[in-house]
Amino acid sequence: MGTAIQVKIFQKLHDIEALRADWDNLHSTFAENNPFLSWTWIYNWYKYVGINKGKIFCLGFYIDEELMGLAPLFIKKRRTPFFNKSMEFASQEASCYLGILCNRVHNAIIWQRLFEFLISTKTAYDRLFLDGVELQKRIFQGVDKRSFYYKRRHEKDSWRISLPDNFKKYAEELESKFSKKIFYYMRRLKKMDGFKFKIAQESDFEISWHEFVKLHRENINKKNEETYFSDGSFCSFAKEAARGFLKNNTLKLCKLSLNNKTAAVLWGLETNDDFFYINIGLDARYEKFSIGITMPAFCIEYAIENRKKHFDFLSGRDRYKQKMGAEKIAQYSILRYANPVAALQDNFLNLINR
C-alpha cells in the first residue's frame, strides 16, 4: 500500500461520542457479527468503567483522511509498586474477540502500523497486555519478534457451537445420556403451569433487567463466587450497553417463567449469524430441573429457529459447554514491556503470588 497510514489518538469521552457515525459504519460493514467491537459496547465501557480505572487511549487509523480502522485501547493503573501503567483493550476483562476494527484487506497492515506506533510511544505504558485476541500469525510478519510476545491463553479460550438447521439434529450430535437429560427437563418444564419462554421487549426491559441482575447475584453469592455485577460501575455499563443493543434489536434478554414466577433470565446478544451467551441469572428453587443447562438449551433452540449459524458461550472452562456441543476457539494474549525492569517486577510478583 503506497499511501501512509496516519494515526490519531482519542483520549476524551466526547471524542468517542463524535466518532459514532464513522465507528458504526466500520462496524456494520466489517464486523457486524462482533458486538464487542461495536460503538455501543466500547463507548459504554469507557464511560462507566474505563474512566474510573484509567485513561481512554483509542487509536484511529486514517488513509487520506478516511477512517480505515480503530483500536479501542485503554491505559489502566495497576496495583503494583512501580511501573503500573498497563495498556490493554477496552473491556478485555469482560469480552472475547477483541482487536482492531477494520476490513480484512487492511487488517495485517493496520496491525503492523499499531505495533510500530506502540513501540514509538512506549512512554505511554509500562506494560502492553492485549488479551482475548483471535490471533492470526501473519499479522506478525515483518515485526521484530523480540518486541512482542504472544501466547495462547487457555483459560480465555471461547466456546462456540456450529448450529444445524433444526434442534433435533443438534440434540442427536450430543452424547446420548446428556441429550436425553436435556430433552427430559425441557419437556417437563414445557408441561408445567404458566410455562413461558419469551424475549424481553422495550416495554418490559427495566423489569427483566432487574430480575436478571437480582437472580445472577443471588446465584453467585450462594456459590461464594465473585461477579462483575457486584461492581456498580460495571452494572451501569452492562445496563446501558444492553439498552443500546435493545434499540437495534441486538439484545436478547431471554426470560423463562413458571407459574408466573421468573425461573431464569439469560443475557444474550444476537447478530446476523450468531447468538452470544453473555451471562445468566437463575432461581435456585428450580435447580431440580437442571435450569443452568436447560435455559441455555431453550436459547439454542431459539437460535436455531431463527437460523443462526453459531451459539457462542464466550470464554471459560465450564465442562457443560463442551457437553452441549461447543468447540474451543483459541484466544491469545500479546505482551510487551517498555523496559526490562518492568518485566522483572511482574515476574517477581507472579512468583510470590503462586
CATH code, domain carrying 60 = 3.40.630.30
Please give the backbone phi and psi of residue 100, each rounded to the nearest 5 degrees, phi first.
Answer: -100, 135
pLDDT, greater one: 334 or 238: 238
Is 93 found in the same domain as 48?
yes
Q: For residue 241, which of 36, 51, 97 has the smallest C-alpha distance?
A: 36
pLDDT at 1: 47
Is 48 found in the same domain as 69?
yes
**Is the per-residue pLDDT at 71 higher than 70?**
yes
Parent domain of 219: 159-328
Q: For residue 312, which of 294, 293, 333, 329 has the smallest C-alpha distance?
A: 329
**Is the per-residue pLDDT at 13 higher than 70?**
yes
Is 164 found in the same domain as 309?
yes
Q: Which of 75-79, 132-136, 235-239 has the highest mean pLDDT?
A: 235-239
DSSP state letter for 32: T
**Is the per-residue pLDDT at 136 higher than 80?**
no
**Is the per-residue pLDDT at 323 higher than 80?**
yes
**Mean per-residue pLDDT, 19-26:** 96
Is 262 found in the same domain as 181?
yes
Is 93 found in the same domain as 109?
yes
Q: Which of 31-45, 153-167, 170-184, 241-255 has the lowest mean pLDDT?
A: 153-167
Burial of 214 (0-12, 13-18, 19+ CB in 10 A): middle
* Residues β-bridged to residue 197: 256
Determine the Cα–Cα distance for residues 296 and 324; give it in Å rounded to an integer: 9
Is 90 found in the same domain as 192?
no
% the chain with pLDDT above 90: 64
- Taking all residues of the chain, what is their mean pLDDT, rounded to a whole number? 90
| pLDDT per residue as tens digits for the range 119-132 | 888 788 999 998 88
**Is the per-residue pLDDT at 163 higher than 70?**
yes
**Is the per-residue pLDDT at 48 higher than 90?**
yes
DSSP state letter for 96: S
Is 296 found in the same domain as 197?
yes
Is 72 found in the same domain as 182?
no
Is 304 found in the same domain as 187?
yes
What is the band of 93 on the pLDDT scale with cuts at 50, 70, 90?
A: confident
Is 304 found in the same domain as 347?
no
